[in-house]
Chain A
Amino acid sequence: EVQLVESGGGWVQPGRSLRLSCAASGFNFDDYAMHWVRQAPGKGLQWVSGITWNSGSIGYADSVKGRFTISRDNAKRSLYLQMNSLRVEDTGLYYCTRSGGSSSLLWWAGPWGLGTLVTVSS
């Protein structure tokens, strides 16, 4: 069974940093690109960032470019999101998702983890 378990969320003041992690199991992690998608409270879904199986291609939403860094460690079957200079508008539930393919970011997203909540507030 595919499992994606996010961790690392919490409350943080604007301008500070957080690092999210996603532990994957139940599939060959290095066969798939991975994504982070977030959902502000009561709002819709927003793609944040994606990374191909070998980290050869990485993409970011304009709203996080230059502040967030996605990475992965295939040996540890883990995906990460380093979030710096956090803003109030970064508040939300951050989901880790498995892509439908490996060597491109242009695939659908599924399955999904349960998410980790990030709250940015003073």
Chain B
Amino acid sequence: EIVLTQSPATLSLSPGDRATLSCGASQSVRSSSLAWYQQKPGLAPRLLIYDASTRATGIPDRFSGSGSGTDFTLTISRLEPEDFAVYYCHQYGNLPLTFGPGTKVDIK
């Protein structure tokens, strides 16, 4: 099983700041099969990025993904008020599919 770790656990920032979230894998993620999701309280997760760097439909271009192998990054270039949420990475290159523990981005 591929274990995903995310850092930091919590990121305290202000609107307009740049957010950099990291996701590490215990072994190489095949074909950069790595996605990022945003989850707000009481809501279902929303797909942001797939294949490590492809934005899902309707996702603003302030969200970008990068990385390969075992190290991946989600960057939010300028935080908007609606971006404060929990972010999960997810690998789908191998079964079982696995998720990271999440990074909470909260308001400083």
**A residues adjacent to B (C-beta < 8 A):** 35, 37, 44-47, 50, 59-62, 95, 100, 105-115
**Assembly CA distance A35 to B98 (angstroms):** 12
**4 tightest A-B CB contacts, nearest first:** A110-B47, A112-B44, A47-B97, A108-B35
Say whether A95 contacts B92, CB under 8 Å.
no
**B residues adjacent to A (C-beta < 8 A):** 1, 30, 33, 35, 37, 44-47, 50-51, 56, 88, 90, 92-102
**Assembly CA distance A100 to B44 (angstroms):** 17
**Cβ contacts under 8 Å, A45 to chain B:** 37, 45, 88, 90, 99, 102
A-B CB pair tally, cutoff 8 Å: 69
Query: Which residue of A is nearest B86, CB measured?
Result: A44
Kindly provide the distance from the CB of B43 to the nearest chain A CB, expressed in whole angstroms: 8
Kindly provide the distance from the CB of A101 to the nearest chain B CB, expressed in whole angstroms: 10
Query: Which residue of B is nearest A98, CB measured?
Result: B47
Say whether B90 contacts A44, CB under 8 Å.
no
**Assembly CA distance A71 to B90 (angstroms):** 23
- Offer 7 A-B interface pairs, CB within 8 angstroms, sorted by A: A45-B88, A95-B44, A95-B45, A106-B94, A108-B51, A110-B47, A113-B44
Q: Is the interface of A mostly helix, strand, loop or mixed?
A: strand
**Assembly CA distance A37 to B50 (angstroms):** 17
**Cβ contacts under 8 Å, A37 to chain B:** 99
Apart from A106-B95, A110-B35, 5 more pairs, CB < 8 Å? A44-B100, A106-B94, A109-B90, A110-B37, A110-B47
**Cβ contacts under 8 Å, B92 to chain A:** 105-109
Kindly provide the distance from the CB of A3 to the nearest chain B CB, expressed in whole angstroms: 12
Kindly provide the distance from the CB of B29 to the nearest chain A CB, expressed in whole angstroms: 11
**Cβ contacts under 8 Å, A60 to chain B:** 96
Kindly provide the distance from the CB of A96 to the nearest chain B CB, expressed in whole angstroms: 10
Kindly provide the distance from the CB of B85 to the nearest chain A CB, expressed in whole angstroms: 13
Say whether A44 contacts B56, CB under 8 Å.
no
Say whether A112 contacts B46, CB under 8 Å.
yes
**Assembly CA distance A100 to B51 (angstroms):** 11
